[in-house]
Amino acid sequence: MTIEKRLQQFYIDNNLPNNGGVDKNTFRLKVFGINWKFPNPQFRKDIVHIHDIQHILNDCDTSWKGETYISGWELSTGMWKHFPVCLFSFWAAGYGVWMYPKALFTGYKKGVNDIGIIDIKLNKSDFMKMTLDQLKDLVSKKEKTTFGMVQWLQFLFWLLISEILFLTPFVIGIILIISLIK
């Protein structure tokens, strides 16, 4: 089965709009039990298929546990090099670590031995023609890395950056509320 067919089934299985919502100007995200509406910028539309293919590659749904796993995987495969889309990965990791720290770590650890799909530099139509096995071969690093002290330090560094990005809006909000009360 091609990635294109798997992706169509992924959207159906996870109750997502066709094509991941690239034709929409907004997208929804449930955070803290509230279904928030966010603008859907062009940079997100351009790569949403890559993020969704990562879910298929790693057999993850779109629950927060699945998103947390994928954010860990993205950080370890170097998604942080791709600004501004990396902000989504950092934020999801910062949010997800509070609920699913094991999923974040497991995703990060797996990603250490994978190449990020975004770094493969194939166009969307080439990805869609591939099979899952072809994609797995393409992203799997030939030389494996043992998860050691360096990888732990990198994980902790990215976790710190994720928490800063996740918590900053809340800190600003609290400061604003306090200043308005005075």
Tokens of 147: 């998860």
pLDDT of residue 30: 86
pLDDT of residue 31: 83
Can you tell me the distance from the alpha carbon of 91 to that of 169, in angstroms, rounded to the nearest whole number? 11
Sites in the chain below the pLDDT cut of 50: none
- Classify 151 in phi/psi space as left (phi over 0), alpha (psi -120 to 50) or beta: alpha
pLDDT of residue 182: 77
Tokens of 160: 């710190």
pLDDT of residue 19: 87
For tokens 């890395």, the residue is 145
3-state secondary structure of 64: helix
Tokens of 61: 């749904």
State residue 28 phi and psi, 5-degree precision. -110, 145
Tokens of 125: 């139509």
For tokens 């993850």, the residue is 60
pLDDT of residue 55: 97
- What's the whole-model pTM score? 0.91
pLDDT of residue 11: 95
Q: CB of 155 within 8 A of CB of 76?
A: yes
Q: Per the omega criterion (within 30 degrees of 0), is the bond before 169 cis?
A: no
